A = this chain, B = another copy of it.
Amino acid sequence: MAKSDTKSETARSSRAPGKMTSTAASRTSRRATSAKAEAPYHHGALREALLQAAERVLERDGLAGLTLRAVAREAGVSHAAPTHHFGDLTGLLSELAAVGFRQFNAAMASACDAAPTPLARALARPKAYVAYAQAHPGMYGIMFRTERLDYSRPSLHEAAEASFAGLANAIGAMRQEQISGDALTLEQGAAIARAWSMVHGFTTLLLDGRLKDILERLPEGTTAERLLESMLTAPITTKLPV
């Protein structure tokens, strides 16, 4: 009976199928609030528009609000339009995650470039990592919290790979070694995994509010960034770097 579907998926509303051959009336007053407005009927760049809409929805309503239908609404098209461009929800999330990884990589790269010394660069990278996640928690959630990602998609695979390569290179530079693309020593692997695990773990715990207990027991006004810095620079006083 299609109770909820026929209602009004977008403000476009019914044009009894059959009437209105191809006049101008069909191309008026669409596209909710999207700056451009007045696009041709066949959107022309719907794919990009959907990705931007998805980013807006994600920032506005969080991960839970990011649905295929919500994105379609935001873009002012029918709820089934995204399927044509992304296949399914996994497809949309994967492409959006790829966008996120590119932003993420760019943020870390520019932070590193701005750092004068190698040591400053070593600190700039993890700081930029956490800063990006704090500034874009939804995007970070898509990239690292969702199960629905398809890494066989070239765009996502490449963007994520680039992120990993940046990390590996940074570690290689610190150890003054050349990190080979196809083989690693156990020590190299351990160094990379340690760095990644530490920063990634810190970030997820921070975003999940799991570090609040620690932060509020620290000396007055200690920020998360300060704690991270201390994690990275405090001398290891025990037998294990734990």
Contact = CB atoms under 8 A, between A and B. Distances in A.
Contact of A200 (B182, B196, B201, B217): B201
Nearest to A171: B242
A41 B204 CA distance: 45
Number of copies: 2
The range of chain A's interface size is 35 or more
Contacts of A63: 147
Say whether chain A's binding surface is mostly helix, strand, loop, or mixed: helix
A202 B241 CA distance: 14
A204 B194 CA distance: 13
Interface string A200-215: 1110110010010111
Interface in A183-242: 183-187, 189-202, 204-205, 208, 211, 213-215, 217-219, 222, 226-227, 230-234, 236-242
A197 B202 contact: yes
B230 A240 contact: no
Given A194-B231, A204-B201, A242 B189 contact: no
